[in-house]
Amino acid sequence: MSSLQHVNPRVKGIGVSSHGDLQSLAAQITEEITQGALKPFEQVIDVSSGDLHRTGMKPISFVRQMICLYPQLLEDKGLPLDVRRRAQKLLEVCEGESLGSYTVSSGMPHVRQSIAEFITRRDAGVPSYAKDIFISFGSQGALMVIVKLISSVEGEPQTGVLTPTPGPHTLPPLLDEAGVALVPYQLMEDRGWAVDLNELHRALDAARGRCNPRAIYISNPGNPTGHVQDRKSIQEVIQFAAAERLLLLVDEVYQDSVYGEGREFASYKKVLFEMGKEFSETVELVSFHSLSSACMRECGLRAGYMELVNIDPGVKHYVATFMDTYICAPVTGQLALDLMINPPAPGDPSNDTYAQEILLTRTTLSQNARRAQKFLNDLPGMSCQPAMGGIFLYPCLHLPSEIVQQAEISQVEADVLYCQRLLEEEGVFVGAGSQNGETGGKHHLRLCVLVPPDTLQEVLDRLGSFHLHLLDSLSHADRGVKDTDVRSNTKTS
């Protein structure tokens, strides 16, 4: 019997259909191990999302030394001098010189100014202003503010947002919560998950009549595809947004994690301002960045920011007013944003250690991505496009019809059922493509590769063992059916 031909009693009647369901199953299995249950594995390895510390990646020393900010520690000469001086400076910009104080809802003025200066440096002098920067509970919190502001009021057609398929697994529920229609556009897998202009037009035309498309969401580098757009592709999207009067929502959280040969990160804002005033003064753009970026990897500190470009001052006032309802992002997270964009400089006592740790992160990411891609492509029934950036691989599962049929009986997507069985039998938690907005019979896995190399090897070993056993069991089952048919026909004759 195939390892997928048994319906898990855990999910009868409810189904494992969402990422949250798989998370709950992973937590349940972990609890069973803690209680002494015998499993063929010692622990669950979670490579389904970008929570990199969970996978064993170590935090950046400079950040952890800084965010303590305990005044008495600033006298400890065991800390590098630049850490103590920087910590003192950051404490001084906090209300009451304490991390326990509120900040203004849009973020600390000092940090907003630092972010504006960082963006200006990054974009080779294209100016950025603190008044256009808003700090929130991660990039998702900032995105929710914008999406709610553009959502329709009662009596108007529902607002729509063009969203990539596949895209971040957090995006569909966010749009649903905001009351906004998801307008999917398909990324081109055979071209490394590129954005296709004709597909954007098709998606927009198909949406009109059922909703009012007002924005387009782009993830660059792609989440979870790893695709990095070149300038020509970015220009095409900007021209499309301009012609169709769409707000550009650009997630650039993995901008520090581009490793594909011949690829470099170019921000949408920089390219926009290279296209002349026809576009740079008219196209409305909101870009997002976050502490959960690959190199900083501080997901739990919950801070990110957005920059508003060509947004009407009246709208920015509404953004600020809306953010007042959230109080403020955690102060430790806001200060960590300052550290992310202003790391130790050459010559600072902390610089050597910081540079080595960042280099290790980038080297681990690029080497892991290449190694995992080769491994996955060598498995029968699986193919994987090379990633150019970001932290995920997104392999395609070419599943036998038996698995698809069993999934239909279980009332779940086939890739979800695959992920469920992989989790139960091998203790590896990967994401399912159907949770990234995919439909139409395609099946994919979402696999984070920014993990310690030995952890990645363990993941690949377990995944390979499960996958080969699954295909072998289906093959034996198929041969058994054919042998029975032959014997039956012989007796009849």
pLDDT band at 69 (very low <50, low <70, confident <90, very high): low
pLDDT (0 to 100) of residue 423: 95
pLDDT at 3 exceeding the cut of 80: no
Confidence of residue 487 (pLDDT cuts 50, 70, 90): very low
pLDDT at residue number 269:
98
The token pair that represents 49 in the structure block = 């999302």
Distance of CA 187 to CAs 193, 231, 238, Å? Answer: 5, 17, 17
CB 298 within 8 A of CB 138: no
Question: How much is the pTM?
Answer: 0.88
**Cβ contacts of 367 within 8 Å, gap of 6 or more:** 453
Q: Rounded mean pLDDT of 102-129?
A: 93
Say if CB 334 and CB 103 are below 8 A apart. yes
Indicate if the pLDDT at residue 492 is higher than 70. Answer: no
Q: What percent of the chain has pLDDT over 90?
A: 63
Residue 236 in contact with residue 274, Cβ under 8 Å?
A: no
Question: If you average pLDDT over residues 169-195, what whole number do you get?
Answer: 95
Window from 15-24, 56-65, 174-183, 360-369 with minimum mean pLDDT: 15-24
Question: Does residue 75 register a pLDDT over 80?
Answer: no
At 83 the pLDDT is 85
Torsion of CA 450, 455, 460, 466, to 10 degrees: -130
pLDDT score at 400:
84
Q: Identify the CA nearest to 60 among candidates 316, 355, 417.
A: 355
Strand intervals (E) in 25-87: 45-46
Say whether pLDDT at 195 is over 60: yes
Domains of the chain, each with CATH number or no CATH: 9-57+356-491 (3.90.1150.10), 102-341 (3.40.640.10)
Per-residue pLDDT band at 397 (split at 50, 70, 90): very high
Rg (CA), the chain: 25
- Mean pLDDT rounded to a whole number for the chain: 87
Q: What is the pLDDT of residue 56?
A: 80
Q: Among candidates 258, 268, 208, which has minimal Cα distance to 238?
A: 268
Instruction: Enter the tokens of residue 448.
Output: 């984070």
* DSSP element (H, E) containing 63: helix 61-68
- Which pLDDT value is given to residue 72? 66
Structure tokens at 388: 């150019």
